[in-house]
Amino acid sequence: MGKLFHSEFLKLRKSSIWLLIFVSPILSMLLGLSDGVGEIEEFKQHQWTATLGIMTISHAILFLPLLTGIFSSFICRYEHVGGGWKQLLSLPISRQQVYIVKIMIVSLLIALTQILFISGLVLIGWMKGYSTAIPWDVILSSAFGGWLACMPLIALQMFVSVAWSSFAAPLAINVIFTIPNMLIVNSEKFGPYYPWSQPFLMMMPNSSESFGALNASNETLFIVILGSFVLFFGSGLGYFMRKEI
């Protein structure tokens, strides 16, 4: 499985996919730099979380869900061209290993995006000279929560990317379901159950600086997010195991 993981990285080594992990962190950083909410007197004690909230709006509502689809489509693109699936599965490896490794690669790319996002926040604080201590517990919880909330989307997008050979079709579906995010994230009834809204709900710090936005409960974390991941992952893996190559 380690060799399979290494081979996937070799495919991506000279591709442009690495540039995509910088897009959202850079744009979010520019948004955070241009906004002066952290400099308002009433927010002085919460400069870091205020800036984190501003950066999270574009990052978690729009770009993070889209990146799960882009990375998943990209990671399957080579196998959809020129009989790549037949060549890959003719090797002494199981389909289960192939599917799991591809999900792991996409998860790692999202994790790198989150690390760059945190780096951008810290850089903003240094450039603006924030006087308060960095609330690492809030920032790291936000980044990890966003990454964890992307797991159902990654599993779902991998399912679609494996099923369809078209690179554009999975992306189009992802865009269609990402666009309503701005409205759905504000719904206490539908937001926690909508996979494309969950990254924002888990990343956005609330007024008490606790884990998750809109008081996202542990029930939402363990039942909705992990439950939907198991559902999408199981469905996708089951389809891939039966798929005729």
What is the maximum alpha-carbon separation in the chain? 64
Q: Please report where in the chains the tokens 């990454």 appear, as a residue.
A: 147
Cα–Cα–Cα angle for 236, 241, 245, rounded to 5 degrees: 110
Q: What is the pLDDT of residues 92-118, one digit of tens each?
A: 888 899 999 999 999 999 999 999 999
> Is the pLDDT at 24 greater than 80, yes or no?
yes
Q: Tokens for 73, please give them.
A: 């489509």
Alpha-helical segments (H) within 129-224 = 136-149, 151-163, 168-178, 181-184, 198-203, 218-219
Give the confidence band of 39 by pLDDT, cuts at 50, 70, 90. low
Give Cβ neighbours of residue 57 (< 8 Å, ≥ 6 apart). Answer: 31, 200, 204
Selection from 70-84, 116-130, 165-179 with the highest mean pLDDT: 116-130
Q: Please report where in the chains the tokens 């990343």 appear, as a residue.
A: 203
Q: Is the dihedral of CA 54, 60, 63, 64 positive or negative?
A: positive
Overall pTM surpassing 0.85 (yes/no) = yes
